[in-house]
Every structure is written in structure tokens, then in C-alpha cells.
Amino acid sequence: MPRSRKSAESHRRSPDDTTMVLPLLPRRRGLLFPNTAGAILIGRKTSLRAVEDATNADGMCAVVTQKDPSLTEIAQADIYPYATEANIQRALRLPDGTTQVWVQGFRRLRVIEILRAEPYYVARVEPIEDFDENTVASEALRRAVLALFEKVARLAPSIPEDSYVLAMNIEQPGLLADFVASSLNLDDEQGADILSTIDTRQRLEKISIHLAKELDVLELQGKIHTRVQEELDKSQREYFLREQMKAIQRELGETDPAARDAYDLRERIAAAGMPEEARKKAEDELRRMEGIPSASPEVGVIRNYLDWLTSVPWVKATEDNLDLEHAATILDAHHYGLQKVKERILEFMAVRTLAKEKHRSPILCFVGPPGVGKTSLGRSIAEALGRKFTRVSLGGVRDEAEIRGHRRTYVGALPGRIIHGMKQVGTVNPLFMLDEIDKLGTDFRGDPSSALLEVLDPEQNHAFSDHYLDVDFDLSKVMFIATANILDPVIPALRDRMEVIELPGYIEDEKLHIAQQFLVPKQLQEHGLSKLQLSFTTGALRKIIREYTREAGVRNLEREIGGICRKVARRMAGMPAVAVRPVRAARPAAKSAPPARGGVSISNANLEEYLGPPKFFWGAAEEKDEVGVATGVARTEMGGDVLGVEVTLMPGKGALTLTGQLGDVMRESAQAALSYARSRSKELGIPAEVFEKTDIHVHVPAGAVPKEGPSAGITIATALISALTKRPISRHVAMTGEITLRGRVLPVGGLKEKILAAHRAGIKTFVLPKRNEKDLSEVPAPVLRDLRFVFAGDMADVLKVAFEHRRPGS
């Protein structure tokens, strides 16, 4: 080690005096250990002078540390008692006015006294040499310190990597202790303590304690760091992984439809707003799907299921418009007449408005023949309320699963019609029309009406269970309206839930108005025609009603009008007019009608050109009064209809044949009619032997339509007696009534529909049981005016009218 003691020696007081006088460099912080190098920052002017002077001489000085860094002037008590002899190697002035001095430390010095403070501190110091005993104990200590230092050096980021290698090469224990002390982050007091420890073994011990402590701290620090990292990782990991998965799925999505599917489905589940139960179910299923190879058919099944689950409406709703005036306007704008029906609908809506959720009003049920406007009324109510509209037909539904769906275990399972309707409409509060509830059947596959009861029950329908969906579905916000052609087949439990509104059908005048105000404008618009291009005379419309349609509603009327519009539109477009229906041969005009230039007016005269020959004879069933042919009326799903009863006689042995698909009750009433005729043969003027020699055949056309009920009793009897007595029956008379063996006429049902049907067919006289007289109160006034009503108590009353042969209108 290069040492220059020249200057120090010059300060000796005597030859055995080992003390020296050296400039003192007091540091505010930090210690310089013997035999180590370091940089010292100097701010004090005095110290700067000391450095200048020292460098001009041999560069030697004593570096000490203040106990209190804030002091600017120091006395001996203010510094730690030991200093380090140092040689100033280089001094650098820094921009901030301070000076950085590089020093190399040599020996340990004891500060004996501070000699002066001006122009810089100078102290008398005494070098302290280490005395190292090479004992086993100190060697053991040395190794222990080295071993600890190795660990600390490895863990502490502040210790340079090669420090351990340097330490390994230091033989003397004292030097090693100083070196390690300089490497550790000791505070000044601890450092000063090491510096003051002259006994090298003690010094090593102290150092080893510091090392052990440092190691503990470092290890603990490491542990805490790891734990913090773990905690952080755990929470971030999931987020991170999910994001990564999304990114991967997005990437894969372009090539792998399965991954894209799963990704889409997850987004849809999140967006669907399902209740907790459904959402959990959906997520479980999705997870299951992702675990199955995409080629497996199961994937398709689950996918389909999730598709359903996410596309039925869970939260989306429309806002109700509860303005009744607005509703009335809409109903009037779309429907002619139906005053009572409209009033009831408005009342119903008013109650719903007032009661809101609390008292749910019953479900409406429109009952009436086809084409009377049940569906269109439903649509208008939806429009008035601002709700969306959907309908399902329950006609021919025999299986409960059609309403409730199939369980997913079935191959090709799907939800039922209710959920289908909900998906299609897309809101939770639509107006839902259940069509043809009278056509609901029952068989071994379960009772669909019980499922329907659940749908319509306000107590239950907030948690409707569809087998396929497998989670509760809320139908409580849906407004249901049912429709039926006739009420009889509807099971009582279902009927009780509903408020029935009857639409019996229209009379001719009403149809005329509907055609003029609604059907014609609508059809013109649909076919892109204007009023000037096509018009209908009242006579033509009446003829269409009478001779081309025979219905309670206006559906066929609308169709015929539409047919004419289509043909006119074709002509307007200059396309060759093709006679769709065979037109009477002697009417060449139909084939050669020129392309219409101006407007077309449909009148009685040219109607057949467009619609072909009439389909019905209006006024009477037959062209002339016939023997053995009587006109009855029946109530049907289409409202009501007239039907002829034919009887022929042929030589035989008195057998009775009945044809025309007659039901048991009708066959029995035919038997009763025959027995009555036989028992009264004398009175009626029938030769008694006829019954032995004659076979009787009763036929009720149309033969393909099943007929049932007792109300044709008097009609069959009349036809029979006419045939047996050879007296013709007035073709202007229609009749209905049950017959007893003694010829009494009993009341029957469906009078209103039957009378309307007779009126439609142009019948003039209507015979009905006396006890049905009260039913006339429900018949519209124009009909009462047009028809002559005869109330029959027994067969004699009936026969009197039937054989009367009045001239029509007389």
C-alpha cells in the first residue's frame, strides 16, 4: 500500500510519540472505513481550504463524521472519536458549488484533540493498528462472516456483485470486518461503533450480527415481495387471462367458428338481461359446450338452446299508451260498426288501466265465425295500447308439448308455441292472440288445455315453465286475447278465465258498408290502383255479397274484391287478360276485353266478366217448389248456413236409409220424424200401406260435411211428409226445431246465427219453435224487418207454412 508518512511524521512531538497532526475533514453523514476508498462531498469553506492545503502538501488528512449533521461548527465532543487516515486523490468542483473529493482510506485514527478550527480544523490523531490473533476462533468468525456476507451480497441489490470475491481475498479479520462494514447499509452510529471497536474479534462479531440482521431483513423482504406479487398476480391473473382468452378467441374467431360462436354467445348472455337463474343456467351450458369437441352433435344441441335462451325477451318492453280516446279513434278507424264490441273493449281497457297490476282483469275472448274481424280487432287494440302484436293458432293442437315444448332430451326438441310467439315478438309485454282455442284437442299425449290454463292464470304465469327452456319465464306482463269460432267445445275451466265478447257476423247492409269503407280502399291500395281507376257500384257489391259469398264474416268478400283488383291491375299493365274462371260460353267479351285505358267501373252488368258465374243462388235454395225437399238451417263454425233435406221413396220393405254423415242425435231425430209421420198417417193423408212397400232414403247435403244435433227434426219430418203425400214445399221457407214423437216442436240453440244465415241466403219465411221467440231480441232490426217469423208449437204449424205456397213477398 503506498503510504506517505512524511508529512505526518513531521508533526511528531517526540520519537516515541505515535500521534500526528492532520487536517480534519468533518463529514455531516457517512463514514469512511480504513482501507476503503470513497467520495466525500465538501461544502464548508474551511474544509475546502483543508483539501487545498493538503493536496499542496502530501494529500493526507483525517476523515471524521459529525454526530449531529446539522452543526456547522464542531468541537471534539461533536464528532465520533475515531477517524480514518485518508489520502486525497482527486478533487472535483461540481456545478452546485460543492466539491467532490475522492479519498483512499488507510489506517484507523483516534482523535486525541482538535487543535484549531481556523482556517480549517486540524487535529492531533493517533493511528491504531489492528492486532489480529490467528486463533481458531477468529478464523471461525472470519469464515462465518464470509458465509453470511455471501448470502447478503446475493440478496441485497445495493451490494456490487464482485464484493464477495473481494471479501474472500482479505486475509486479516480486522480488514475484512471494515470492508464488510463499508458494504453494509449501516447508519452512522452503527458505523462509528464498528470504527471504534479496536478488538478485531469483537469487530467481526458485531459485523456478523449486523450481517445476520441484514440477512433476516433481506429474506423477509424477499418473502413479502413474493407474497405481494402473488396477491397481485391472483387478482390480475384472472382478468389478464380472460382478456387474453378474448383476444385469442377473437383471433381464432376468424378461422374457428366454434370459438367465435362461444364468444358471441357469451356476449349475448351478458346482454340479454336474464334473471339470475336463467343466466346461471346459460353460463353453465356454455361452459359445458366449450368442453365438448366441436364435431360432437351435442354442441349443436346446446348452441341451439343458448340461442333460444338469449333470443326470447327478458327485459325489453314497450310503454303502454293508456289514452282511451286515442284507443276509440283507432278502433273506429279500422272497424265499421261493432258498437257494442268496441264499448266492451274500451271498458275492459279502462279497468285494466285503473286496476293496473293489482286486480288483473280477465282475459278477453272473441267468439265468432271467420272473417268477422277478431284478429284485426286484436291488432287494433295492440296498436291503441302501443304494444307489439303476435298470434299463435291452437287449431289442431293435441299435445301438451306443442304449448310447453319438449324436454331437451328429445331429439330435435324445441320450445312450445307460447315461447315461439314471445321470441318472434321480442318484447315482454306484447298483445298475444291465442287463435282457435275451440279447436284444442286432448289425447294420450297430455292435455294442452291444462298448459293453457297455466298460461292464462295470473297467479301462475309469472313463472311459466316451458320444458325446453327449463327455466321460469315471466308471462305476467303479456296481454292475452283468445279467439274461438264457437264457445261450446271450450272447457269450462278455460271459459271461466275469460270474458267472452261475441261477434255473431254481419248482415248484408253492414257488409256493404264494410266493403265500401274498408275493403275496397284497402284492396285498391294493395294493388296500386286509384279510385279513378277502379270503382264498384253498390249493386255490384251487393251482388258479390249475395251471389259470390255466403258467410257470416267478410273474408271471402274481401278475397273476391281483391280478385277483381288483380285482374284490373293486370289489364292496366297491358297484360293479356286471361279468364281465370270459366265464363259462360256465350260471353265473348270476357276473352277479348281490351286493355283498360280509362277507369273501370264494376257493376251488375260486367261483374261476371271478372268473377265468373255466381256461386250461390240468392233468394231460395231451389229454383221451384219441390216435393221432398225442405230447407233447414244449422249453426256451424262458419256462423250459420242453410241446408237442404232431401227425401226420396222407392219400392221396398219399409227400410229407412240415412246419408250425409249424420251424427247419432240427428239419426234419432230422423227416426222420430218417421214414427211421427206413421203414427199420424191418417191425419196427414198418407196411405197406411205405403210404409210396408216403400223404402225411404233421407239425405242431407253436403254429403262430406258431418252434421249433428236435433234441430233438423222438423225439417226432416216436413221433407218426409212432403214426399209421402207428394205435396211440394215452399222454397222460400226455412225452419229449425226439434221434433218429439207426438209432433211437438222443441226449442233449439244458435237461433241468432241461424236467422242471420237464412237472411243471408235470401229466405223469406223462417219457422222456429215457439219457445225460441225470446231469441229474436238479439237479432238486428233490419233482419227482423226482412223476414217473416212463424212460431211453431207443433208439426201442424210447421206444415201449414211449408205447404202454403205464398208467392214471395206476398
Q: Enumerate the active-site residues.
A: 711, 754
For ligand ADP, the closer of residues 337 and 793 by Cβ is: 337
338 binds ligand ADP, rule: CB under 6 A: yes
Return the SS3 of 729: strand
For ligand ADP, the closer of residues 466 and 558 by Cβ is: 558
364 binds ligand ADP, rule: CB under 6 A: no
Query: Measured from the CB of residue 518, what is the shortest distance to ligand ADP in angstroms?
Result: 4
376 binds ligand ADP, rule: CB under 6 A: yes
391 binds ligand ADP, rule: CB under 6 A: no
Question: Which span (37-45, 197-205, 350-358, 549-557) binds ligand ADP, by CB under 6 A?
Answer: 549-557
Of the candidate residues 82, 263, 308, 336, the single one contacting ligand ADP (CB under 6 A): 336
**Alpha carbon distances (Å) from 258 to 255, 265, 266, 308, 310:** 9, 10, 12, 17, 17
518 binds ligand ADP, rule: CB under 6 A: yes
Q: Which residues pair with 151 in a beta bridge?
A: none
30 binds ligand ADP, rule: CB under 6 A: no
For ligand ADP, the closer of residues 69 and 782 by Cβ is: 782
Query: Measured from the CB of residue 707, what is the shortest distance to ligand ADP in angstroms?
Result: 23
Q: Is 446 in contact with 400 (CB distance < 8 Å)?
A: yes
Return the SS3 of 65: strand
Of the candidate residues 127, 337, 362, 426, the single one contacting ligand ADP (CB under 6 A): 337
Query: Measured from the CB of residue 558, what is the shortest distance to ligand ADP in angstroms?
Result: 5
Distance CA 429, CA 432 (A): 9
For ligand ADP, the closer of residues 85 and 435 by Cβ is: 435
Distance CA 42, CA 23 (A): 14
329 binds ligand ADP, rule: CB under 6 A: no
For ligand ADP, the closer of residues 334 and 398 by Cβ is: 334
Q: Characterize 137-146 residue by residue with b for buried, 16 or more Cβ atoms within 10 angstroms of its Cβ, and e for exposed.
A: ebeebbebbb
Extract the C-alpha cell encoding 194: 464498528
Return the SS3 of 668: helix
Distance CA 682, CA 371 (A): 49
Distance CA 422, CA 476 (A): 12
432 binds ligand ADP, rule: CB under 6 A: no
Helix-then-strand count for the chain, H and E: 30, 26
Query: Measured from the CB of residue 433, what is the shortest distance to ligand ADP in angstroms?
Result: 9
The tally of CA atoms less than 13 A away on the side-chain side of residue 621 is 24
Q: Shortest CA distance to 432 belongs to which of 451, 418, 414, 416?
A: 418
562 binds ligand ADP, rule: CB under 6 A: no
DSSP H or E run through 601? strand 600-602
For ligand ADP, the closer of residues 89 and 525 by Cβ is: 525
374 binds ligand ADP, rule: CB under 6 A: yes
Q: Which amino acid is at 298?
A: E
* Total site size for ligand ADP, rule CB under 6 A: 17
394 binds ligand ADP, rule: CB under 6 A: no
Shortest-Cβ-distance residue relative to ligand ADP: 373
Of the candidate residues 285, 454, 551, 558, the single one contacting ligand ADP (CB under 6 A): 558
DSSP 79: B
Question: Which span (97-105, 269-277, 336-344, 566-574) binds ligand ADP, by CB under 6 A?
Answer: 336-344
527 binds ligand ADP, rule: CB under 6 A: no
The alpha-helical segments, DSSP class H, found in 649-700 are 664-679, 681-684, 690-693
Question: Which span (258-266, 272-280, 392-400, 552-560) binds ligand ADP, by CB under 6 A?
Answer: 552-560
Whether the link from the prior residue into 212 is cis, omega within 30° of 0, is no
Which 56-115 positions form the footprint of ligand ADP (CB under 6 A)? Answer: none
Extract the C-alpha cell encoding 300: 349443436
For ligand ADP, the closer of residues 370 and 737 by Cβ is: 370
Exposed, middle or buried: residue 718 (CB in 10 Å: 0-12, 13-18, 19+)? buried
Of the candidate residues 111, 372, 677, 795, the single one contacting ligand ADP (CB under 6 A): 372
Question: Which span (88-96, 147-155, 237-245, 548-556) binds ligand ADP, by CB under 6 A?
Answer: 548-556
DSSP H or E run through 101? strand 99-116
385 binds ligand ADP, rule: CB under 6 A: no
370 binds ligand ADP, rule: CB under 6 A: yes
Distance CA 349, CA 354 (A): 9
Which 203-242 positions form the footprint of ligand ADP (CB under 6 A)? Answer: none
Distance CA 742, CA 665 (A): 18
Q: Which residues pair with 502 in a beta bridge?
A: 367
Distance CA 427, CA 751 (A): 42
Question: Which span (93-101, 368-376, 453-461, 559-567) binds ligand ADP, by CB under 6 A?
Answer: 368-376
- The site for ligand ADP (CB under 6 A) is made up of 335-338, 370-376, 514, 518, 553-555, 558
